[in-house]
Amino acid sequence: MTVAEEYLSYKNDNRLSPGNFGDRVKLQLFLRDKVELMWSEGMNFSHGGLQQNYMTGFSLGFAYYDCRPTPFCRTHCYGLPLAGVFDYNMLRLGVVTSESFRNGDSRFLSLVKAQLFRLNLPCLKIGHWGDAVPEQAPHIARLVSAFPATIFWWYTRRPEVATAANRLELPNLRCYLSLDPETPYPAKEEYRYGITYLYHNDHFHEHHDSILRDDRLVAIFSMKKGQSVEDPADAGLANHPRICIEKKWKATRHEKGDLLCLQCQGRCNFTSELAGDALKNEERITSR
């Protein structure tokens, strides 16, 4: 019996649904114990270990078992509406990504590097699924350093991960702490780097107004509900300078804004910030 067949048997016998966060964790823990067996069977990845998405083009996603979700996050976590072997492939990818970046497994990391080299991406989103842990940061840093022309932005719910990543001071990497209505809101003395904020029209953070005025705020995300997105105008946020333009687009036009994240410079995508730094450096040199 292959690992895929064992997975399907385990899922069916225990009546587990990948659309349920707790079940997703159980399924990935099941696969984590079989990583070496999966390698021995031979693993192929559709996009060289990356995930493809319409917002940023490509991303890296981690396993759900390293998440520390609030009840809000657990309830509203992005589901996997696929069935059978498809959710096996996607959950397997999260496990292999997490364990490879945790242990520095060159079998997977070399695939990711080769794919990035082939694609020559302008940016890569880190943390599309699941969450990272501090011991993965050094291996992610080596990947980022190997592609200085690619902008990497990273989302995490762990302040210690965001702090560790940002303290590396890599020019093409930013790591943002993700807040939802139930996440502890850190004081600047505790955490000084960028934050993002996900809200629900009927569920806001108790420090909602303070978060909106926080100079650490990088982006505000409205809640996605199925194929639709809550309109930021309903929460009075349509004109906030940090509202996510992709969410605003989808809420008003009811269609996907392909690769809009790449056009949203100076927020999650800090390309314009780097361009400004480069211009300042050039001006300093020419003024000498």
Q: What is the pLDDT of residues 189-213, one digit of tens each?
A: 999 999 999 998 889 999 999 999 9
Neighbouring-strand partners of residue 152: 124, 173
Neighbours of 20 (CB within 10 A): 15
Per-residue pLDDT averaged across 231-246, rounded? 84
Per-residue pLDDT averaged across 51-68, rounded? 87
Contacts of 76 (CB under 8 A, 6+ apart): 180, 200, 223
The reported pLDDT for the residue numbered 288 is 42
Q: How many domains does the chain have?
A: 1
pLDDT at 14 over 60: yes
Q: What distance in Å separates the CA atoms of residue 287 and residue 280, rounded to the nearest whole number?
A: 10
The reported pLDDT for the residue numbered 269 is 65
Structure-model confidence comparison of residues 124 and 268, the more confident one: 124
Give the start-end residues of each E strand in 165-266.
173-179, 195-199, 217-222, 224-225, 228-229
Give CA torsion, residues 55, 91, 105, 66, to 10 deg.
Answer: 90
Q: What does pTM read for this prediction?
A: 0.86
Q: What distance in Å separates the CA atoms of residue 127 and residue 148, rounded to the nearest whole number?
A: 19
Structure-model confidence comparison of residues 36 and 262, the more confident one: 36
Taking CA atoms, 171 is separated from 46, 273, 278, in Å, by 30, 10, 11
* Rounded-to-5 percentages of helix, strand, coil across the chain: 45, 15, 40
pLDDT at 215 over 90: yes
Contact 193, 178 (CB under 8 A): no
Q: What distance in Å separates the CA atoms of residue 213 and residue 215, rounded to the nearest whole number?
A: 6
Contact 87, 12 (CB under 8 A): no
Mean pLDDT (the chain, rounded): 85
Query: Residue 41's domain spans which residues?
Result: 3-287
The reported pLDDT for the residue numbered 78 is 65
- What the block records as the tokens of 72 is 């809000």
Per-residue pLDDT averaged across 127-144, rounded? 93
Per-residue pLDDT averaged across 214-230, rounded? 82
The reported pLDDT for the residue numbered 24 is 92
- What the block records as the tokens of 200 is 């629900």
Contacts of 3 (CB under 8 A, 6+ apart): 31, 34, 37, 38, 41
pLDDT interval class at 62 (50, 70, 90)? very high
pLDDT interval class at 166 (50, 70, 90)? very high
Q: Any idea which of 93-97, 124-128, 195-199, 271-275 has the lowest mean pLDDT?
A: 271-275
